[in-house]
Amino acid sequence: MKSITGVEPVPLTLDRAIQERNFERLLAANGPALSRLAASYTRTLSDRDDLVQEIAVSIWKALPGFRGECSERTFLFRIAHNRAIAHLSRSRERAADSTKEVDVPDPAPNPELELSQRQRAVRLRHAIYRLPVAYRQVMTLTLEGLGYKEISEVLGISEANVGVRLSRSRQLLHDLLEKRK
């Protein structure tokens, strides 16, 4: 029987219900990390939210093809990385430079400490965003707690290359942060 839109409704099968539960579990466990990763590739909250949505849709589409050859977290970050690179390419084409900053609220009760932490986080985010993409990717994934092996799988590079990029990105970050003092 067709619905009002003229499309037959898709019955909720057991496989689909399992896929939905798995999808919801993965997003609940990794959503904040995926959001932070998306924020490292964008300059505004709305762009970050758009990218997170794109990542979620891509994860949903790719989930049935997950073969378990890597961890679920690596699988998710690989998808997120690919979506972020595509988003970055599109945003560069548009060249719409916005000066709005991502504001990540800190629940700390001490206002002075909160301000200090926020200023450091903003400086770090800006410094990370100024890194070349190859170094930014490795640094962002490292900050999300991924190891060399997982990062190499996400980015499709060797573990040795991860180490080299991470070392260079740390030095560049140090230089960028020291210049701004």
Instruction: Confirm whether pTM is higher than 0.85.
Output: no
Q: Are residues 69 and 112 in the same domain?
A: no
Q: Using pLDDT thresholds of 50, 70 and 90, give the confidence band for residue 23.
A: very high
**How far out from the chain centre does Cα 54 lie?**
11
Q: Are residues 83 and 18 in the same domain?
A: yes
E-only strand ranges, 43-156: none
Q: What is the pLDDT of residues 68-99, one digit of tens each?
A: 888 999 999 999 999 999 888 887 666 544 44
Q: Are residues 88 and 143 in the same domain?
A: no
Q: Are residues 92 and 40 in the same domain?
A: yes
Count of CB atoms situated within 10 Å of the CB of 99: 6
